[in-house]
Amino acid sequence: MAFRNFSHAIPLSEPGPVSTRAGRKCGGTTGASVRVLAGLWLLCLVAGYAAAQKSKQPPAKPLDVNTATAAELQTVPGIGPAVANAIVKFREKSGPIRRLEDLLAVRGITRKKLEAWKKYLEVKS
């Protein structure tokens, strides 16, 4: 693909907005600056979330999924507010959980996640 040199179309001695094909005026770098700032903000947000996940203290002893509150379930690495609330609602709707594999019926819980959580969760009879 060949690139064309359009420098002859924009006189360097006349500062001001540049006209686009659609006839709109653009200020040059304003849109790019906004995109860069939005990208940096998003990067900081993701980094903060990752740091918060890593700093989460796992429970000292396994939690009973039938008695744990949503706040307690959130202490398990990888369980956020949405999944914790989904587990509590599932338990309220379906009754006591008989085995950890029953949690696979909860939306958002996969076998891989459940395997990672097994050392933090238990089902007491």
Is 4 domain-assigned?
no
E strands, 15-77, in order: 18-19, 25-26, 63-64
Tens-digit pLDDT profile for residues 9-37: 555 555 556 555 665 655 555 777 778 78
Domain count, the chain: 2
**To which H or E segment does residue 122 belong?**
strand 121-122
d(CA 110, CA 62): 19
Q: Is 43 found in the same domain as 82?
A: no
Residue 11: the pLDDT is 57
Residue 15: the pLDDT is 58
pTM of the model: 0.57
Is 26 domain-assigned?
yes
Is 33 domain-assigned?
yes
Is 100 domain-assigned?
yes
Is 30 domain-assigned?
yes
Provide the residue type at 85 as one letter.
N
Is 2 domain-assigned?
no
Tens-digit pLDDT profile for residues 88-106: 999 999 999 999 999 999 9
Q: Which residues contact 121 (CB under 8 A, 6 or more apart)?
A: 62, 63, 65, 76, 100
d(CA 13, CA 28): 16
pLDDT-derived band of residue 110, with 50, 70 and 90 as boundaries?
Answer: very high
Domain containing 79: what range? 63-122
Q: Is 114 found in the same domain as 67?
A: yes
